[in-house]
Chain A
């Protein structure tokens, strides 16, 4: 396996003091921490940096590491810890985290003290880790009593080895759920140590964009294309909604962008329903026949209407 140069990873000299190492770590951690940096590869970079800091900030671990560093560990194509390598650092009694590199585990293995160094001071039998899974949900699922199957992987420890197992679960979509909401499934997360309970599974609800509707909270928004004569004269229109077709009367002299509110035809909340807003969009045929052209011409002559009257007022 590859020898990891922790000093190079942090950008410090091998004889750097603790203060320098700390400053270097903080700068890099701030840059690559996945909670503040959404870029691809940031999390991996952060884990590398955190692992380096985990070793170099601890006097005993740093001493062990320096031994190997000095004895040319870097120059080998491959790296294997010397046979029977025990090291002198005390055991923290914590399982290897899958977050550490193979290199780290080969040297510090059971003594890493937990990825974030939690177990350096925390010796209880820990509840299993929580897992968060994105659950894409269709609008149609929210209004029906739909259940969805989710698949995810879970880290488990078997015989001291960390591995991931696949899990499948059937979940009912809760009524009134919002986009971005996080819902908890108790006990469906990673198993705990020894007799400790399992962690939880959190479902991060993401509503899949709908081709016809936009969502604002529990209200739905829909654009209704209408012909110019429908806008001028009014019209009866059939609208598809999530719960079936409804009839709508377009009032005469409607404008593009005008909104009509249909109470209760939106998404269900925990107590009632949101509303559906219909927004008119006037569209004209892409081509005109000679006959319709003539009609348009007469109409323009018969109607005293300047759509740009406002502009002239401004320039007056």
Chain B
């Protein structure tokens, strides 16, 4: 069974197409992701959870040709949207347990 890992290093990220060290530095500088450890950027390690958002940010940078400040805002809003949708679904589910009839 393959190992589950919760971390990715900057080196591993940059080994992929379209991702450079410069971009990762921008992503971190604009608050889109935060390294778990590493004083120098070459030693940076990230949570696997944040890779999704980092890659999304880099895609937006390439595809929409917008600046990092705007990208940071977009990612922020997308994350908020995710949270709200989840909360909405949960509240709806809870409400339906009360509003629907107990006896069908």
- Please give the residue numbers on chain A whose beta carbons come within 8 Å of chain B beta carbons, in ascending order: 22, 26, 29-30, 33, 35-36, 46, 50, 114, 116-119, 122, 126-127, 129-130, 132, 147, 169-172, 174, 179-188, 196-197, 199-202, 204, 209, 214-216, 221, 223, 225, 257, 281, 283, 286
Contacts of A132 on B, CB cut-off 8 Å?
A: 52
Question: Which residues from chain A contact B55 at a C-beta distance below 8 Å?
Answer: 130
A26 close to B64 (CB less than 8 A) = yes
Beyond the given A36-B74, A281-B102, could you list 16 further A-B residue pairs with CB under 8 A, ordered by the A residue number?
A26-B64, A29-B63, A33-B63, A35-B60, A35-B78, A36-B60, A118-B62, A127-B15, A130-B51, A130-B55, A171-B1, A183-B4, A185-B2, A185-B4, A199-B16, A216-B90
- Whether B2 lies near A214 (C-beta < 8 A) is no
Find B5's partner among A26, A171, A185, A204 (CB 8 Å cutoff): A185
Task: Report if B42 contacts A (CB, 8 A).
Answer: no
Please give the residue numbers on chain B whose beta carbons come within 8 Å of chain A beta carbons, in ascending order. 1-8, 12, 15-18, 20, 48-49, 51-52, 55-56, 59-60, 62-65, 74, 78, 82, 86, 90, 93-94, 97-98, 102-103
- Complex interface: chain B residues within 8 A of A202 (CB): 48, 51-52
A192 to B, closest residue via Cβ? B15
Asked if A286 and B103 sit within 8 Å, CB to CB, the answer is yes
For the complex, give the distance between the alpha carbons of A209 and B69 in Å. 37
23 contacts between A and B (CB under 8 A): A33-B63, A35-B60, A35-B78, A36-B78, A118-B18, A122-B17, A127-B12, A127-B16, A170-B1, A171-B2, A182-B48, A183-B4, A184-B7, A185-B5, A188-B2, A201-B2, A202-B48, A202-B52, A209-B93, A221-B94, A223-B97, A225-B102, A283-B103
A35-B56, A170-B1 are contacts. A179–B86 as well, Cβ < 8 Å? Answer: yes
Question: How far apart sit A147 and B2, CA to CA, in the bound complex (Å)?
Answer: 11
Given A36-B74, A202-B51, A180 contacting B86 (CB threshold 8 A): yes
B74 with A283: CB separation less than 8 A: no
Closest to B93 in A: A214
Most buried by A among B4, B8, B49, B64: B4
